[in-house]
Amino acid sequence: MKIYHNPKCSKSRQTLEIIKENNIEPEIVLYLKDELSYQEIESLLAKLDLKPIELIRKGEAIWKENFKGKELTDDQIIKAMTENSKLIERPIVVVGEKAIIGRPPELVKNLF
C-alpha cells in the first residue's frame, strides 16, 4: 500500500491513521516534496479511473490565478500538476492497480 500524503492536510492525516490502525505500514510519498512525473500522474489517473481535471484541487490559488476558465487539454492539465503539486487532490492511496482519494478518509477501507 502506498499513500500520496501531505502531512499538513487533515484528511491526509486521518487517512494515514486509518491505514495504520489496520496494522498496515504504507509506503509514504510526500508528493509536495518529491514532485510526481507526468508518467506517475498518468498511472495514478488510470488506477483512480479519473480524467485529469477530476484530480485537480480547483480551490487552490494557483489554479484560480493561472488556469481557471481556460480551455485546457488533458496533457496541459497533467503538466500543470507536475509543475504545481499543490493542485493534486489528496490523499491518494494505491494498492496494486486500484486507488482511491481519501475524501472522506473512510473510503480507504475499501482497499483493505
C-alpha cell of residue 80: 500543470
* Residue 21 φ/ψ, nearest 5 degrees: -65, -20
User: Under a CB-based contact definition with an 8 Å cutoff, are residues 36 and 82 in contact?
Assistant: yes
Residue among 108, 88, 109 at smallest CA distance from 6: 88
Query: Is there a catalytic annotation at residue 66?
Result: no
Neighbours of 48 (CB within 10 A): 17
Would you state the torsion angle of the CA atoms of residues 104, 10, 81, 108, taken in this order, to the nearest 10 degrees?
Answer: -40
Q: Which of 1, 2, 9, 95 is catalytic?
A: 9
Q: Which active-site residues does the annotation give?
A: 9
